[in-house]
């Protein structure tokens, strides 16, 4: 029984793969979120498969007649080696709770779990090391904000100001995923510049544990509502784990009149975070009844309308956009 | 010798062991094995002996054991060390002999 790479663009392989994956009760979302797929055959029959996207294992399925043997170990092990050959050693898997044990048996460690899904990791880094790397503070009221800030607007500024006023310290976790118009480094820099005058705000990277392709792929890839629901619940659980280690007892978020995914996210947090962490959902800041949003800023950039950009962002962000307009336009043109 | 980057060797199949070596301070071994109670000490000894033969003093070793024999443990660890130290093309004959 040899392992081969499956070319899912070929209908013959796709049909076999789809049957196996769907028989195991997995929902196929989008082939764009698969980098490579491996399969094991017994004769002409596909009996096991597994895929990965970046450093996340996905769509692991084994024919019921072959479960419980070495097949599972073989497919997971081959995926790990395949990623190692690309210098990827820190690997996640997003799976059903019933498979948790099978992964733990292969050295994976649980990060968080809900009744619908479990997130595990293995390799040369862990959530424990991430937590250890974060600066620690002491206080009665420690809050947190998680933001992508693509880019940092006056709306973000308002949210941070409110949190800053009402807390001893505010951890500002920046989404660390280069899937936005502004790169992670640019977003971090603009946030740091934009909150520099607020002494109790600590800007840190959310690493792969806060709203990343790992915890919350639906944030970046259009997905069905139920998918977003179980992902956001898991993301909220991961947040809770990090937050409890830092004694965070409050989280501030902006309400989201435009994005259904963010709306689902806020609902999941309301369900998962209390009582240890209270959730403050603030109304978005508006200028003359015009709600500030990063989406509007990006649209204004696309139209090269600097006047509109200036209306929504602090001076620091504006300067950056003005100085880098050709680069940003090029990125939009290239489909970022 | 120094660990230059993370490296992996071995598989998770029966009778094998998978090593992930990464940079660390001091020697830290994280062993995952179903036979840890019976053979954990012996497995760790094979690992520490081999590391000291290579003169590696700072490393994080993550080992997921699936019932590997000592010779397999050694072979996999040597492969991981040589990869992590970028010395795949310079086998250490003294250790191998």
Question: Is the model's pLDDT at B48 over the cut of 60?
Answer: yes
The B-side interface with A (CB below 8 A) comprises 5-8, 11-14, 18, 20, 22, 32, 60, 62, 64, 66
Q: Given strand A91-95, what is the order of strands in its sheet?
A: A3-5, A36-42, A45-53, A56-62, A91-95, A118-122, A109-113
Q: Which residues of B touch A82 (CB under 8 A)?
A: none
Rounded alpha-carbon distances, angstroms, from residue A190 to A212, A235, A267: 20, 25, 29
A201 confidence band (pLDDT: 50, 70, 90): very high
Q: Which residues of A touch B64 (CB under 8 A)?
A: 106-107, 122
CB-based contact A80 B64, cutoff 8 Å: no
Report all structural domains of chain B as residue ranges with CATH numbers, in order of start. Answer: 7-89 (3.30.230.10)
Mean residue pLDDT across chain B: 93
More confident residue, A180 or A136: A136
CB-based contact A87 B5, cutoff 8 Å: yes
Percent of chain A with pLDDT over 70: 96
Q: Please tell me the predicted confidence (pLDDT) of residue A265.
A: 87
Question: Is the model's pLDDT at A18 over the cut of 60?
Answer: yes
Rounded alpha-carbon distances, angstroms, from residue A336 to A106, A220, A328, B21, B48: 37, 12, 9, 36, 49
Q: Beta partners for B33?
A: B65
A203 confidence band (pLDDT: 50, 70, 90): very high
Question: Is the model's pLDDT at B97 over the cut of 60?
Answer: no
| Cβ within 8 Å of residue A243, ≥6 positions away | A144, A249, A251, A276, A277
pLDDT (average), residues A260-265? 83
How would you classify residue B15: left for phi > 0, otherwise alpha for psi between -120 and 50, otherwise beta?
Answer: left
3-state SS assignment for residue A92: strand
Q: Please tell me the predicted confidence (pLDDT) of residue A218.
A: 63
3-state SS assignment for residue B65: strand
List pLDDT tens digits, range B50-65. 999 999 999 999 999 9
Q: Please tell me the predicted confidence (pLDDT) of residue A262.
A: 81
Report all structural domains of chain A as residue ranges with CATH numbers, in order of start. Answer: 3-125 (3.40.630.30), 129-333 (3.40.50.620)
Mutation for testing the A interface, residue in B3, B6, B12 having most A CBs under 10 Å? B12
Q: Which of A78, A107, A124 sits opposite B6 (nearest CB)?
A: A124
Query: What is the pTM for the complete model shown?
Result: 0.86
A288 confidence band (pLDDT: 50, 70, 90): confident
Pick the closest to residue A52 from A97, A96, A15, A84 (CA basis). Answer: A84
Question: Is the model's pLDDT at A307 over the cut of 90?
Answer: yes
A335 confidence band (pLDDT: 50, 70, 90): confident
Question: Is the model's pLDDT at A78 over the cut of 90?
Answer: yes
| 8 A C-beta contact, residue B2 and residue B85 | yes
Question: Is the model's pLDDT at A269 over the cut of 90?
Answer: yes
pLDDT (average), residues A225-249? 90
């Amino acid at each position: 029984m040899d392992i081969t790479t499956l070319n899912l663009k070929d209908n013959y392989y796709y049909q076999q793969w789809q049957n196996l994956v769907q028989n195991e009760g997995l929902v196929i979302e989008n082939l764009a979120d698969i980098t490579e797929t491996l399969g094991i055959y017994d004769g002409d029959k596909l009996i096991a498969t597994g895929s990965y996207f970046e450093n996340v294992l996905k769509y692991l399925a084994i024919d019921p007649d072959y479960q419980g043997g070495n097949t599972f170990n073989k497919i997971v092990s081959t995926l790990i080696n395949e990623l190692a050959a690309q210098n990827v050693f820190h690997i996640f898997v997003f799976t059903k709770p019933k498979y948790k044990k099978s992964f733990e048996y292969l050295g994976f460690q649980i990060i968080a779990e809900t009744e619908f899904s479990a997130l595990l990791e293995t390799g040369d880094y862990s959530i424990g090391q991430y937590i250890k790397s974060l600066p620690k503070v002491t206080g009665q009221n420690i809050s947190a904000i998680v933001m992508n800030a693509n880019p940092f607007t006056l709306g973000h500024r308002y949210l941070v100001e409110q949190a800053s006023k009402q807390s001893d310290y505010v951890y500002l976790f920046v989404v660390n995923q280069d899937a936005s118009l502004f790169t992670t480094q640019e977003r971090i820099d603009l946030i740091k510049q934009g909150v520099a005058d607020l002494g109790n705000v600590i800007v840190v990277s959310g690493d792969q544990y806060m709203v990343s392709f790992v915890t919350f792929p639906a944030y970046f890839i259009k997905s069905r509502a139920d998918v977003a629901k179980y992902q956001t619940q898991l993301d909220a659980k991961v947040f809770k784990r990090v937050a409890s280690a830092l004694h965070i007892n409050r989280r501030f978020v902006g309400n989201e009149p435009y994005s259904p995914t963010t709306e689902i996210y806020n609902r999941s947090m309301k369900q998962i975070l209390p009582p240890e962490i209270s959730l403050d959902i603030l109304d978005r800041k508006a200028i003359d009844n015009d709600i500030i949003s990063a989406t509007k800023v990006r649209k204004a950039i696309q139209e090269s309308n600097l006047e509109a950009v200036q209306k929504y962002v602090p001076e620091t962000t504006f300067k950056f956009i003005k100085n880098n307009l050709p680069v940003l336009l090029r990125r939009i043109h290239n489909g970022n | 010798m120094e660990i230059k980057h993370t490296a992996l060797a071995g598989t998770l199949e029966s009778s094998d062991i998978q090593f992930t070596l990464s940079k660390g301070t001091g020697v830290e071994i994280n062993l995952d094995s179903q036979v840890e109670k019976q053979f954990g000490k012996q497995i760790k000894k094979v690992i520490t002996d081999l590391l000291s033969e290579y003169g590696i003093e700072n490393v994080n070793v993550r080992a997921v054991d699936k019932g590997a024999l000592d010779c397999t443990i050694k072979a996999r660890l040597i492969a991981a060390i040589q990869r992590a130290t970028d010395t795949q093309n310079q086998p250490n004959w003294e250790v191998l002999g």
